[in-house]
Amino acid sequence: MVKVLASSLRKGTVVDIDGKLYTVLTAQNIHPGKGTPVTQLDLRRISDGVKISERYRTTEQVERAYVEDRPYTYLYEDGDGFHFMNPDNYEQVQVSKDIIGDSAPYLQENMTVNLSIHEGIPIAFELPSRVTLEVVETEPTVKGQTASSSYKPAVLSNGVKTSVPPHISAGTRVVISTDDGSYLERAKD
C-alpha cells in the first residue's frame, strides 16, 4: 500500500479505507474562503457496490491500493460471467456480472478493454469510449427532414435503444458513446 495526499486522488483511483477497497467516482477539492481546504470524495465499495461520501483535509493521507491496469481481449459470456484473455500470455480471467454492470451490451467479441486487477482478482474494467454498431430498427427516413435537429428513436444491433438523426436508416453502421449510449457519428467503414 502507498499513502498519497487526498488532494491528489482522481476518478477511477482505487483506495483502501479500513481494509476495504473503494473506487473513486468523483473527487472535488474545495477551498473555502475561511478554514481548511478539503477534498470531497464519492466512493463505491468494490466488494458490494455500496456508495459512500468521505471528506478529508487536502493534506491528509489516504492508502492507495496497488492495482495493475492492463489490456485484455473480451472472449465470451456464459452463466459464470464474462471471460477475458491477456494477449501477452494467453491467460484467461473471469469477471463477474456485478463488475461489468450496464456496460455488458457494448462488449463485442475480440474487443480490447482495460481490466484493473488487485491481488489477482479483477475489480474494475474500462470499455473503449466508442463502439461501432448497426441500426437494426428505426422509423423510415422522411425526405426533406435532414436539416432538422430532431432525433428519432432507434434500436441497435446490441439491443440498446438510442436516438439518431433523421437521415439514419436501418442497416446503417453508427458510432456510439459507451458512456451514455448516445449517437456520435455515422461509421466511416
Range of the domain at 174: 130-186
Same domain, 120 and 140: no
Q: Band of the pLDDT at 55, cuts 50, 70, 90? A: very high
What's at 39, amino acid-wise?
T
Same domain, 139 and 120: no
- Per-residue exposure over 131-164, b if at least 16 CB sit within 10 Å of its own CB, e if not: bbbebeebeebeeeeeeeeeebebebebeeebeb
Span between the terminal Cα atoms of the chain, in Å: 46
Mean pLDDT of 116-128: 83
Q: Rounded to an integer, what distance in angstroms lies between the CA atom of residue 159 and that of residue 135?
A: 10
Mean pLDDT of 94-103: 82
What's at 31, amino acid-wise?
H
| Length of the chain as a residue count | 189
| pLDDT of res. 146 | 56
> Which has the closest alpha carbon to 5: 54, 68, 64, 45?
64
Query: Quick check: 143 pLDDT over 70?
Result: no
Mean pLDDT of 115-126: 83
- Count of CB atoms within 10 A of residue 117's CB? 19
Model pLDDT for residues 99-114, shown as the tens digit of each residue:
787 888 999 999 999 9
Cα 79-68-42 angle, rounded to 5 deg: 80
Domain boundary among 64, 91, 114: 64
Cβ atoms of residues 117 and 123 within 8 Å: yes
Show the cell assigned to 122: 479483477
Model pLDDT for residues 58-74, shown as the tens digit of each residue:
889 999 888 888 999 99
Same domain, 134 and 119: no
Q: How many domains, in total, are found in the chain?
A: 3
Domain boundary among 126, 147, 167: 126
Same domain, 116 and 136: no
Mean pLDDT of 143-161: 79
Show the cell assigned to 80: 459464470
